[in-house]
Amino acid sequence: MKARERLKEANRIVVKVGTSTLTHGAGGLNLRRIDLLVRELADLMNAGKELVLVSSGAIAAGMGRLGLKEKPAAIPKKQAIAAIGQGVLMHIYEKFFAEYGVTMGQILLTKENAAQHNQYSHSRNALLSLLSMGAIPVINENDAVSVDEIKIGDNDNLSAIIATLVDADALLILSDIEGLYTANPATHAEAELIHEIDQLTPEIEKLADGAGSERGTGGMVTKLEAARVAMRAGVTMVIASGREEGVIRRVLAGETVGTIFPAREAHLRVRKSWIAFGKRLAGEITVDAGCAEALAGGASVLAAGISAVAGDFAAGSALRVLDAKGREIARGITNYGASDLTRLIGHRTEEFDALVEGAHRAEIIHRDNLVRMV
């Protein structure tokens, strides 16, 4: 079944809406557009769909309430503005959803909620409980307490993590642009919309031209990063214009709208999902062709197949596994820290005791703690 046709059967959908979609050009919140968005989501819920809304706009809403024209550069000021704006934005969502008979629940997340496995599981359980109650979770990154080290950085990536977290069938990112073009449509009149991308090649990534709007943080680069997460997690993703009325229903009807990124495989189990997309990556290892082939068959990573180690990490950290060409083929949790692993690479298990004291684990990354990324 083609990807567009599969969207007709999508039941659990994550919708991400960007700041540029929610605001006027002058910077204030676009209440008409928010109303149209909420009405469409409410109608889909009446039709039996489960919806999760990931919404940007807290800082823009705070700027509007304070009468500010430019976003400050200082993080504490951004946090203060977000604290004001989150209340404003959620009040508006609550008002509009209530008018259509829908109960909403606000959830604020940071990267730390995904990096710790117990918090990852608790976040998942809370979201699934809200959905089971017939409510719609409205999620934003917790800008009021986030700092650079723990920020996800944009709601495009946050929405992909959420889609993975709740085992969504589809992720729809509503933007100020219809999708990915062959060139920047603002500067190239001949640019054409790419309707489907089934593989994120270097050529496709070069088409992403990074800047977001003055009030937003994301650009096409972050949307492609989100697509990579979604596709690998078994979630079909679509980028479409948030300024087009009824666009969500059109996408879910299988119409050729925006750019679609078809899912690669079935949903990952919760723990494997956390390893791949929740836990913070601390380093990487490069493996030889024999090891790469063994991993494709479901084997663990052994020291004999490792050719290089990069990063300063401890045992229990999440690592990227690269093949000889530098392509990421897996992610997993290492049983050894970087210093010990550097001594072990290229050696057989029976040699471990002479190289590292207490090196009793045969596997560098056990297959139960490994997720293939290709």
Q: Which helix (H) or strand (E) holds 79?
A: helix 75-99
Q: For residue 220, give both structure tokens.
A: 């096409």
Confidence check: pLDDT of 217 > 50: no
Say what the pTM is.
0.76
Q: So what's the pLDDT on residue 221?
A: 87
For all residues of the chain together, what is the average pLDDT? 87
310 close to 283: Cβ distance less than 8 angstroms: yes
Q: pLDDT band at 145, cuts 50/70/90? A: low
**Whether pLDDT at 71 is above 90:** no
How many whole angstroms separate alpha carbon 286 and alpha carbon 309? 7
Q: pLDDT tens-digit profile of 155-213? A: 888 899 899 888 899 999 999 889 999 888 878 889 899 999 998 888 888 888 544 44
* Angle of CA points 67, 70, 71, to nearest 5°: 105
Is pLDDT at 148 greater than 70 in this prediction? no
Largest CA distance in the chain: 71
pLDDT for the residue 28: 85
- Over residues 66-72, the mean pLDDT reads 87
The domains located in the chain, with CATH, are 3-271 (3.40.1160.10), 280-372 (2.30.130.10)
Which residues are registered as beta bridge partners of 196? 260
Residue 116 pLDDT > 70, yes or no?
no
pLDDT tens readout for residues 275-318: 777 778 899 999 999 999 999 999 999 999 999 999 999 998 99
- Run of H or E including 310: strand 306-310
| pLDDT 10s digits, 251-278 | 999 999 999 999 876 556 556 777 777 7
Average pLDDT estimate for 45-51: 96
First to last CA, the chain: 21
Q: Is 307 helix (H, G, I), strand (E, B) or coil?
A: strand
